[in-house]
C-alpha cells in the first residue's frame, strides 16, 4: 500500500518556516504520542537547525502510560525538552512554565547584559492533524485557529499572544514528499494525518487490524466481542462486521462501513490507550 501526500502548499510552508525562523527564539513541536517517530517531519531538522525545541507529546491520553515515560526520556536532550500534553485538556500555565525553563539560559544572558528582550517568541510546528489547532484554541481560550478532524485545516501563519511572557507563531501542518519506510506512511494514515479521501480505507483497516492483533489480541476482542484465535485480518474484519450489523443486501459484509468504524474508534481512543511505535 503506497502512501504519499504532499500538496503544493506544504512546499511553500517549509519555505515560510525557514524565512520566519529568525523571528522566534525557540520552537514548540507538536508530536502525536501514539507515533512519536512518524509524526516528526524529518525535513524540519534541516530547517530548524540548532533552535531549541519544546516537544509536546500530544494526545498522550490516547497512548500507553509506560510508553509515554520511555518516549519522554528518549526525546529529551540537551537542546530539547519533551513533555506529555493533551490538547483536549489545555494547560497554558504548563506551556509558559516549560518555555521559560527551556530558555532559562538565554533569558539570564539578556538580563546580565541589561537587555530587555521582551516576550519569548515560539514557532509552533507539527504534521497535519497533530492537534496544533486544538492546542492553540485551548491555551489561548479563543477560536483563533480553525479545528477539524481532517489534516490540512491550518493554511496560513498567525501570531497568538499567550501572555506578556510568551507569544506563539502558528504554521500550517506539513508532511514530506516520500515516506522511505512504508510503516511511517501507514502509521500516519492510521492516526488520520493523511486524508482518508486519497486512501483505500478498507486495506488500511486490514493493516490496522493486523497490527493491533499482533500488539494484543484483546484490544479487538474486548471491544467487538469477538474471538481472533489466530484468524487472518480479513476474517477478523468480517467478524466485526457481523457483530456491528455492517451488512449489504444479500447479507454481504459492508467492508467500507467496518473500516470506518475501526479507524474512527482507534483514532478517538475508544479501543483504549494504544502506542503504535514502541520503545
Please state the pTM of the whole predicted model: 0.85
CB neighbour list of residue 247: distance below 8 Å, 6 or more residues apart = 241, 253, 254
Mean pLDDT of each 10-residue bin along the chain, 279 residues long: 56 81 93 95 84 96 97 92 94 93 91 85 89 86 47 56 89 73 90 85 96 95 93 96 90 94 96 96
* 137 and 206 together in one domain: no
Residue 86 belongs to a domain: yes
Residue 278 belongs to a domain: no
Domain boundaries, position 151: 8-170
Say which CATH number the domain at 205 has: 1.10.1580.10
123 φ/ψ angles, rounded to the nearest 5 degrees: -95, 130
The cell for 176 is 514530506
DSSP code string of 59-119: TTTSS-HHHHHHHHHHH--SSEEEEE--TTS--HHHHHHHHHHHTHHHHHHHHHTT----S
Residue 188 belongs to a domain: no
* 158 and 109 together in one domain: yes
- pLDDT on residue 243: 93
Residue 276 belongs to a domain: no
Q: Could you give the CA distance from residue 216 to residue 43 in angstroms, rounded to a whole number?
A: 33
Say which CATH number the domain at 127 has: 3.40.50.300
| Size (the chain), residues | 279
For helices 255-268 and 182-190, the axis angle rounded to 10 degrees is 80
* 209 and 135 together in one domain: no
* 88 and 207 together in one domain: no
DSSP state of 270: T
Residue 183 belongs to a domain: no
* 131 and 244 together in one domain: no
- pLDDT on residue 174: 74
Residue 60 belongs to a domain: yes
- pLDDT on residue 152: 42
* 111 and 44 together in one domain: yes
- pLDDT on residue 1: 57
* 139 and 255 together in one domain: no
Q: Are 175 and 41 in contact (CB under 8 A)?
A: yes
Last residue of a domain, one of 126, 151, 170: 170
* 113 and 26 together in one domain: yes
Unique residue bearing C-alpha cell 519544546: 54
* 155 and 210 together in one domain: no
Domain count, the chain: 2
* 208 and 109 together in one domain: no
Q: Could you give the CA distance from residue 257 to residue 252 in angstroms, rounded to a whole number?
A: 12
DSSP code string of 136-171: HHHHHTS--S---SSS----S-EEEEEETTEEEEE-
* 137 and 233 together in one domain: no
Residue 54 belongs to a domain: yes
* 139 and 246 together in one domain: no
CA–chain centroid gap for 224, Å, is: 26
Residue 195 belongs to a domain: no
- pLDDT on residue 28: 95
- pLDDT on residue 118: 85
Nearest alpha carbon to residue 35 among 179, 154, 203, 170: 179
CB neighbour list of residue 101: distance below 8 Å, 6 or more residues apart = 81
Amino acid at each position: 500500500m503506497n502512501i504519499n501526500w504532499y500538496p503544493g502548499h506544504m512546499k511553500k510552508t517549509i519555505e515560510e518556516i525557514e524565512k520566519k525562523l529568525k523571528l522566534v527564539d525557540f520552537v514548540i513541536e507538536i508530536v502525536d504520542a501514539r507515533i512519536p517517530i512518524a509524526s516528526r517531519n524529518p525535513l524540519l531538522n534541516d530547517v530548524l537547525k540548532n533552535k531549541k525545541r519544546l516537544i509536546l507529546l500530544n494526545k498522550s491520553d490516547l497512548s500507553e502510560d509506560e510508553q509515554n515515560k520511555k518516549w519522554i526520556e528518549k526525546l529529551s536532550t540537551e537542546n530539547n525538552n519533551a513533555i506529555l500534553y493533551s490538547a483536549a485538556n489545555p494547560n497554558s500555565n504548563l506551556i509558559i512554565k516549560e518555555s521559560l525553563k527551556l530558555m532559562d539560559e538565554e533569558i539570564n544572558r539578556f538580563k546580565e547584559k541589561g537587555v530587555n528582550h521582551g516576550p519569548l517568541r515560539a514557532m509552533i510546528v507539527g504534521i497535519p492533524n497533530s492537534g496544533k489547532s486544538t492546542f492553540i484554541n485551548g491555551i489561548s481560550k479563543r477560536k483563533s485557529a480553525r479545528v477539524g478532524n481532517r489534516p490540512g485545516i491550518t493554511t496560513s501563519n498567525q501570531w497568538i499572544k499567550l501572555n506578556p511572557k510568551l507569544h506563539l507563531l502558528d504554521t500550517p501542518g506539513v508532511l514530506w514528499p516520500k515516506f522511505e519506510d512504508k510503516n511511517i506512511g501507514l502509521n500516519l494514515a492510521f492516526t488520520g494525518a493523511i486524508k482518508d479521501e486519497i486512501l483505500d480505507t478498507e486495506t488500511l483497516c486490514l493493516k490496522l487490524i493486523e497490527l493491533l492483533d499482533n500488539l494484543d489480541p484483546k484490544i479487538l476482542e474486548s471491544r467487538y466481542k469477538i474471538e481472533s484465535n489466530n484468524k487472518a485480518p480479513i476474517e477478523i474484519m468480517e467478524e466485526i462486521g457481523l457483530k456491528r450489523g455492517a451488512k449489504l443486501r444479500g447479507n454481504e459484509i459492508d467492508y467500507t462501513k467496518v473500516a470506518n468504524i475501526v479507524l474512527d474508534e482507534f483514532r478517538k481512543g475508544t479501543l483504549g490507550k494504544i502506542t503504535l511505535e514502541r520503545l
